[in-house]
Homo-oligomer: A and B are copies of this chain.
Amino acid sequence: MVERLVAYRRHLRRWLADGKPRIYSHELAGLAQVTSAVVRRDVMTIGYTGSPAKGYAAAGLVDRIGRVLDPPQRPGVALVGLGSLGRAVLKHFARLHPELRFVAAFDVSPEKVGRIIDGCRCHGSADLETVLRADPALVGIIAVPGEAAQDVADRLVRAGVRGILNLAPVRLQTPPTVYVEDVDLAVSLEKVVFFARPETERLEALA
């Protein structure tokens, strides 16, 4: 559901940018590739309401979605690991997502420390606790090799982050108060490989 709200908001903003102030559930559904029933149910769940005659007010809906998704104050994000994956993340969000505040990036490799990469100062990983004590982050992004991920997670948790986006191919051990979202490209790719096979072949693999 959160995923869908994010998608709705993207499409609604484009819709508004096109100068169209109102939208019907089936129109938004078409853009987000879901059914109109899902849209209506979601809108209902977040407590917004439209009119049968004119649909939903796009701006009001964007606003309501923001009230649900976005924390009251701009959340701080700490990125650990500036390998190719970490850099990709930083670049994409620097461009795409001004609502987030990247408070710091960390890496072990000495030639990166001290430099400013994509508008974000790179600190040594050893300074993680110090830097985040001065400027706390709500969420951390782990983009280090699998072997280092658990240690980074422990330190992020101790530094007070409440959520982690984990790009390393391991499941993290964390206290239940911390939310972890795993994005494992290897798993996703294996999933695609699996479902890319014709259904007949998949079923006989189970036999």
> Which residues of A165-207 have CB atoms within 8 Å of chain B's CB atoms?
165, 169, 171, 178-179, 181, 183, 185-198, 201, 205-207
Query: Smallest CB–CB gap between A15 and chain B, Å?
Result: 15
- Is A41 among interface residues, defined by CB-CB distance under 8 A? no
B192:A3 contact, CB within 8 angstroms: no
- Digitize A66-80: 1 where CB-to-B-CB distance is under 8 Å, 0 elsewhere: 011111100101000
How many residues does chain A have at the interface if contact means C-beta atoms less than 8 Å apart?
Answer: 62
Chain A contact residues: over half helix, strand or loop, or mixed? helix
- Is A100 among interface residues, defined by CB-CB distance under 8 A? yes
Asked whether A139 and B206 contact (CB < 8 A) given A87-B84, A88-B85, A196-B163, the answer is no
B189:A100 contact, CB within 8 angstroms: yes
Contacts of A100 in B (CB 8 A): 189, 193
A196:B7 contact, CB within 8 angstroms: no
B162:A196 contact, CB within 8 angstroms: yes
* 15 A-B residue pairs with CB within 8 Å: A2-B195, A6-B186, A10-B169, A69-B190, A69-B193, A71-B201, A85-B92, A93-B185, A93-B186, A138-B193, A164-B192, A179-B196, A181-B188, A183-B183, A183-B185
Besides the known contacts A67-B205, A68-B206, 14 further A-B residue pairs in the complex with CB atoms under 8 A apart:
A2-B194, A3-B191, A47-B206, A71-B196, A77-B189, A97-B186, A138-B193, A139-B192, A163-B193, A163-B196, A178-B196, A179-B192, A181-B188, A183-B185
